[in-house]
Amino acid sequence: RIDPWVTLRSLSFPSMMTTLDQTKELFRRADAVCFDVDSTVIKEEGIDELAKFCGVGDAVREMTRKAMGGSVTFKKALTDRLSTIRCSREQVNKLITDHPPQLTPGIRELVDRLHELNIKVFLVSGGFRCIVEHVASQLNIPLQHVYANRLKFYFNGEYAGFDESQPTAESGGKGKVISMLKEQYGFKTVVMIGDGATDLEACPPASAFIGFGGNVVRPQVKERCSWFVTSFGELLKELEKI
């Protein structure tokens, strides 16, 4: 699917596009690796699972489809869909308990290996922090390395919106997070890995982008990245060269 929340600039070939060999080398000597979560680290899309669980799966899927064809901003599309879902805190907790996010095969081994090599790992997602934190804890990723959208609830647990101040609530948010990480930690080489156009858009400021098609292949991402993998085993293999 084409993601409308991506600037036209990012859909043209970057002027300094890295070659396959350069991308592989940047990955091997990365200071940090940032992973998208939905359809990358986990098999599913969090917002679709939440909508389905709250009984509005079809309606939200249709809203996503309509948004794809228009000039809707990422924030507006997120606001509209969440207003339809209107999940309570209890529903979100029950979703995580009854239908925990399914890790993509090989991700646990890859994250463990990156940690062994002292490469910092971050989860950068347009999804929801409550779900992404659950994923992070399964992968031994510190919670301060999680960047995602925060759902807000009233005292009685009813849905109260989401935190619009988070960079991930905006178009281009993943790139903003990477710029912030470079500044905060002094990282020179940061690699972004993901399945979607918003992940591709984060390079630059990411030093390199690796497209992931292990759960879903998005043609516009596959065509525009120099390294596209369909399993995390391919990345593990590359780390063996270190």
Catalytic residues: 36, 38
AA identity, residue 43: K
Are 195 and 179 in contact by the 8 Å Cβ rule? The answer is: no
Report d(CA 232, CA 229) in Å as an integer: 7
Please, where are the H alpha helices in 30-172?
46-53, 57-69, 74-85, 89-98, 107-116, 129-138
- Name residue 42's beta-bridge partners: 103
Instruction: State the burial class of residue 7 (Cβ atoms within 10 Å of its Cβ: 0-12, 13-18, 19+).
Output: exposed
Residue 110 tokens, joined: 């890859």
